[in-house]
Amino acid sequence: MRLVITPATDGPMNMAIDQAIMEAVAQERVPRTLRFFAWEPACLSLGYMQPLSDSDQDRLAARGWDIVRRMTGGRAILHVDELTYSVACKAGDPLVAGSIVESYRRLSGALLHGLNILGADADANKRAKQSGGTIGPVCFEVPSRYEITFSGKKLIGSAQVRKMGAVLQHGTLPLTGDITRICDGLVFPDDQEREIARQRVASRATTLEEVLHRIISWEDAIQAMRRGFEETFDLTFEIADSLTPEELQRAEELRALRYAHDEWTGRF
């Protein structure tokens, strides 16, 4: 399996890179790939079918935050102070064989092992415990099946898409900071509703710092998660210094024509 650690970049480019890798894996131009990455500047990502109207464009601009629409489903995520991973495999690869839920369970094993290496005794329950009350536009409010939680709070959120003869799963591990900051980039009827949403997110989601009571660096988190995959799946990684020239060219095209384009971002 190829391991790629890409430099921090903006939201549209990060999503373009994920798709470029997925396409290259589908066409067997590169091996199945595990990628770790970061976001600069901070970016609000919307699920594939999430309405753009959930986001507050003025508030995003005032904070210097990007916005991008993912090719995967789910709700909004604020990508900041986190480690993000993606896994791209051909359809039928043993890592992602079976249903989406089955592959979630399998990949969650590697993520859990990485967290255990860091000292976080997390869980990935078959049927996530649903919190009562309102479900809002924030991804981290509600864990899906086999997503990773700590003491009932969501710690790693992931999403998956299957197309072009390949599978892409990407997800985020918040390392530090205020998990409720995402509410500053979303639309609410008034400040009272925004504060209620903050409290709801704080009760349902957490960060690695909150779990461990110390800050884990991005680099140390990568090393633990890499070991999680290596030891869970008995993998040997082929370390790539960068993407291939073809992947980089395709990512630039996808950024310009899709992920940084208003037509894509505002399609729903």
Active-site residues: which are they?
139
Q: Per-residue DSSP letters for 167-225?
A: EEEEEEEE-SS-GGGGGGGB--SSHHHHHHHHHHHHHHB--HHHHHTSPPPHHHHHHHH
Of the candidates 74, 41, 39, the one whose C-alpha atom is nearest the C-alpha of residue 60 is 41
What span, in angstroms and rounded, lies between the C-alpha atoms of 166 and 25?
7
- What's the CA gap between 148 and 204, in Å, rounded? 12
| Chain centroid offset of residue 254 CA | 19
> For 41, which DSSP code?
S
* CA 227 to chain CA mean position, Å: 19
**Sign of the Cα pseudo-torsion (148, 170, 176, 78, in order):** negative
- In the DSSP assignment, the letter for residue 258 is I
